[in-house]
Chain A
Amino acid sequence: MNVEIKMLKTLQPKESVLIGGLPGIAYIGKLSVDHLIQQLKAELVGEVYSKFFPPYVMIKDDGIVELMKNELYYLKNENGKDIFFLTGNAQAFSPEGQYEIADKLLDWAISLGVKRVYSIAALLTDRSFETPNVYGTTTTHVLLEEIKKYGVLPLDQGSISGTNGLIIGLAKKKNIDGICLLGETRGYQTPEGLYVLDPRAVKAVLDVLTALLNLKTDMTLLDKQTKEMDDLIRKIAEIERNMREEMREATTKKPSYVT
């Protein structure tokens, strides 16, 4: 089993688009796609299994075991082209695996009528900002001009690692349109090296994507999560400021002992 796409429903080919976002920096891609799936009530139509995913399983809260996998959802869109969504709990570990999975997914999507792929990823920055920028790269200049109209900044230089990047690169090879939107993030990490979620960047990306596709979604949850994250980061900054103050006082204080 290199890559196995297990269909849970039979679908007829129809011109549609694919939106993909897999776990990566600050979980921007995955969170964006998961938000759309939840808000638009897309239907789970397929599961992707592969020997290239990390070799372990997860036991969930309810005691049910789950393999590492990607999931495919489908939305019959009344306001435009139908949409497939790609999300998952893992990405392939190696370049070989990332290529093979992206290749298989695109062949599957094309067979069902997908003509354009949107990929969502993160762009790490050390810039201070109130509102994150959304950067973009596309498979053609025409597409780039199109997304610029929505406030997307062209990514002149850089790289997009993993399947979120490769799926656009391979879309170009297969002669279908590809657009990658990258949410700007500081990419905070926990002491264990795990990325902290960045709902603010997710919302920035989704503002663009929903406008591009004429989708209506409720962002209240993302606003709430953004506020919670801001409060948390403010608290961390306050603790750090207090620690610095204590250290400064300790070093400037005269010794209270006599030798």
Chain B
Amino acid sequence: MEESTWIKHHKTVELNEPIAVVGSSGLRSIGRLVVDHLIKELKPQLIAELYSTHFPLIYQTIPAYSPHPELPGIGGVEIESGEVGLPRVQFYAHSHPPLIITKGYNANFNGQYEVAGRVIDFFKELQVRRIVVVAGYGSKEKKVCCAANEEKIIDEIKNKFQIEVDYKGPFYGFSGLVFGLARLRGIEALCLLVSAEPVPTDPEAPDEESSKMLLNKLNQILDLHS
């Protein structure tokens, strides 16, 4: 294969400085649940898909988003409605407000930077002005908090929406690196994190209640009606 990570474009869209909402499987599947909900409710158009030889179908690490250099996973395909498909990141466009809804996929250890870098490059092509990452963090207290790549974004979110900084620590997986790399490419990035109780035996067990809490805040911030 010539390239280990590539993008298949489906549709060309003209959006005026869209906001990219990014979520992926992670702690209690918060990011995936939020993005799935937006896709279902807002009915955006699928504009592109990113594929990578670094995408395992089966992960050898628990949780899947915490990669290990010696456990690359096992490749494979997914079958959906009788059709075969490769594991992928999906980009959807929504016009009003202009959004790029991004459903992420966790690469293995060797591919994480490459995949996140390609996603950021694609956002630059689409003239994305801000990335909003949605994810969960382990805590029993029910709360939505924020993080960002610039202080002024934190001040804005605190003042306008009374969302405080609460979580400190590592952020693993697709969404974490997209969030981290944004500053290097000059894109603003905000992260909304909702607390969810960790389930050690099944770290990605869906937490619908927490994801709804996060969705409510996201709806306020982006003025959505999802």
Contacts and interface: CB of A to CB of B under 8 A. Distances in A.
Contacts of B177: 55-57
B200 interface: no
B146 interface: yes
A211 interface: no
A65 B154 contact: no
* Residue of B67, B109, B154, B168 contacting most chain A CB atoms (<10 Å): B168
Interface in A55-103: 55-67, 93-94
Contacts of B173: 56
Interface residues of A, number: 21
B169 A94 contact: no
Interface string B130-152: 00000000000000011111110
Contacts of A63: 145-148, 154, 165, 168
A65 B171 contact: yes
Contacts of A93: 69, 109
A49 interface: yes
A244 interface: no
B184 A49 contact: yes
A120 B86 CA distance: 47
A56 B113 contact: no
Interface string A36-62: 000000000000011100011111111
B181 A94 contact: no
A1 interface: yes
A61 to B, nearest CB: 5
Contact of B168 (A51, A60, A67): A60
A1 B113 CA distance: 8
Given A49-B184, A65-B147, A65-B191, A59 B168 contact: yes
A6 interface: yes
Interface in B167-203: 167-173, 176-177, 179-181, 183-184, 189, 191
A60 B170 CA distance: 9
A62 B151 contact: yes
A61 B112 CA distance: 25
A3 to B, nearest CB: 11
Contacts of B146: 63
A146 B113 CA distance: 43
Nearest to B180: A57
B114 interface: yes
B179 A61 contact: no
Contact of A64 (B69, B151, B172, B176): B151
Contacts of B167: 59
* Residue of A6, A50, A55, A63 contacting most chain B CB atoms (<10 Å): A55
Interface string A1-27: 100101000000000000000000000
Interface in B85-133: 109, 112-114, 117
A74 B168 CA distance: 30
Contact of A1 (B117, B165, B171, B172): B117
B154 A55 contact: no
A59 B177 CA distance: 11
Given A57-B171, A64-B150, 19 more contacts: A51-B112, A51-B114, A55-B112, A56-B171, A56-B177, A57-B180, A59-B147, A59-B169, A61-B168, A63-B145, A63-B146, A63-B165, A63-B168, A64-B149, A64-B151, A65-B179, A65-B180, A65-B183, A93-B69
The 9 closest A-B pairs by CB, nearest first: A63-B165, A57-B180, A51-B113, A55-B112, A67-B180, A63-B147, A56-B172, A59-B147, A57-B176
5 contacts: A1-B113, A55-B112, A57-B180, A62-B165, A63-B148
